[in-house]
Amino acid sequence: MKQRTWLIIKIVAAMVFGAFVISTVAKQYSARKPPPDLDAVVETPPVSEQKTPLSSPESDFLDSGAWNTFHGDNALRGVATSEWTPPLSVHWRLKTGGPVRQTPVVCNDHVFVATARGEVLSADLEGNLVWSRELHKGVTPDGQPLRHRIEAPIACFDDMLLVGTADGTLFALDADTGEERWHYTLAGTILGTPNYRAADPAETDASGSVYVLQQSNGVLVCLDAATGRERWRGEAVDRSDASPSVSNEAAVFGSCAAALHVFDPKTGDHLRDIAIDPDSQVAGGVALVGGRVVSGSRSGKILEADIASGETIWVTEAGEAEIFATPAVTDEWVVAADYDGIVYGLNRETGEVRWKFDTEGMPLSPVIAGDTVIVSADGTLFMLALDDGELLWRLTIADEITSPAVVQGHILVGSEDGAVVALTAGHGKES
């Protein structure tokens, strides 16, 4: 009887302790500030009083007619050089073998798509299927093929398609044929986009570098683009659901440590961490522009920081919910999307909110294209005026669509109903 009583006491104590832990964690991760108005609070640290001039050197890929990552180039800036005048119309729709939940990418005049069924497809810019390939990892007990699950955005650089899987395998496929060039396995899920840096003539490496982030502990791995051989492995920082952004100066990503982490892209040295605050975990991509990084955060704050010094230039408390979508950034503008439905247009120099637009859905990573903003929310594609956020046009395409790829006169989205949709200028139909 005494043993049973003692056992009951231990069970109750364990339940009470468990409830305390859960309550503590919940408080830490669910705290929210009061909803702000359009006159958002801008925190400007003293160091930013002596700002360096804004500069945005062109990415290696910006004007190449490519959309290499889910957010454009390897710096994840979300900027397209094309001009758009609504209305738009559906130019073509290509059915796929499963839901398309990641943004299509474009290089070498071909569109590349990954489906939720572990299939990768290539099509030309007229929507004609070129090749398809299923990524298998074995067979089921009844002998059926077991496919890899793809939850990370795909990327395409230098005739090579990069596909990360939920079990930690990174595939490099030949962009022309879909044949495997090499694969590399990490010890954990790949959730962020793989990324790439072209070979520097001044360096000894003849081929470019591929970067991939291990979700569980935020370890960034650099691979030889030609062979898949590991060049270096960065130190662990914290769990990271984010996507690394890459330039010749830095590889940068955020994590659950509520900080941005800066690594040397050549050596893997951990250069510095840029802390935000305990409620500002970073789970989205960050944009690198002119030696600075722009990021959203879980607390709804948007910030810009100098990657060389680690100093914060400005912080804006714009959002009422998580800002995990990757901001679009030019010399003059930052456009960010909040999970509460709002798209914000900010003054790039100061972080001041100039306008906001309510999508009445969950907006994904926006794109700045000329003097317009193109953004998806749920199943609707919106086009807004960049200068004031005015709605210019919208079209409901499906129940759910991806963030857009904007390239070569096309706007491309994937859809939950299993299709890739291409829109072009013409007589569209508003929803």
CATH of the domain at 111: 2.130.10.10
Q: What is the pLDDT of residues 69-124, one digit of tens each?
A: 999 999 999 999 888 999 999 999 999 989 999 999 999 999 999 999 999 999 99
Confidence of residue 385 (pLDDT cuts 50, 70, 90): very high
**Separation CA 154–CA 66 (nearest Å):** 14
CA distance 373 to 403: 12
Query: SS3 breakdown of the chain: % helix, strand, coil, rounded to 5?
Result: 10, 40, 50
| pLDDT score of 125 | 95
Residue 283 lies in a domain: yes
Residue 112 counted as domain residue: yes
Q: What pLDDT does residue 64 have?
A: 62
Specify the pTM.
Answer: 0.85
Average pLDDT value over all residues in the chain: 86
Count of CB atoms within 10 A of residue 154's CB?
24
Q: Is the pLDDT of residue 138 over 90?
A: no
Confidence of residue 265 (pLDDT cuts 50, 70, 90): very high
Would you give the distance in Å from CA 318 to the centre of its chain?
Answer: 20
Span 186-211, pLDDT tens digits: 998 999 999 999 998 877 777 999 99
Residue 172: give the domain boundaries. 41-81+99-362
Residue 342 belongs to a domain: yes
* Domain-embedded: residue 91: no
Question: What is 69-103 written as a DSSP string?
Answer: BTTBSTT---EE-----S-EEEEEEEE-SS---S-
Q: Would the pLDDT of 17 be above 80?
A: no
In eight-state DSSP terms, residue 47 is G
| Residues 282, 292: Cα–Cα separation, whole Å | 16
- pLDDT score for 206: 79
Tell whether 373 is covered by a domain: no
- Beta-strand pair 251-254/245-246: antiparallel
How far apart CA 61 and CA 56 sit, in angstroms, is: 13
Any domain includes 229: yes
Asked whether the predicted pLDDT for residue 377 surpasses 70, the reply is yes
More confident residue, 41 or 122: 122
Q: H/E element holding 396?
A: strand 391-396
pLDDT at residue 145, as a whole number: 81
Q: What is the structure's pLDDT at 45?
A: 41
Tell me how many domains the chain contains. 1
pLDDT recorded at residue 392? 97
Residue 9, domain member (yes or no): no
Q: Identify whether 26 is part of a domain.
A: no
Is the pLDDT assigned to residue 54 strictly greater than 50? Answer: no
For 100-122, letters b (16+ CB in 10 Å) and e give: bbbbbbbbeebbbbbbbbbbbbb
In what helix (H) or strand (E) does residue 18 lie, and over which residues does it extend? Answer: helix 2-30
Better-scored residue on pLDDT, 142 or 374: 374
d(CA 333, CA 366): 12
The DSSP secondary-structure symbol of 49 reads: G
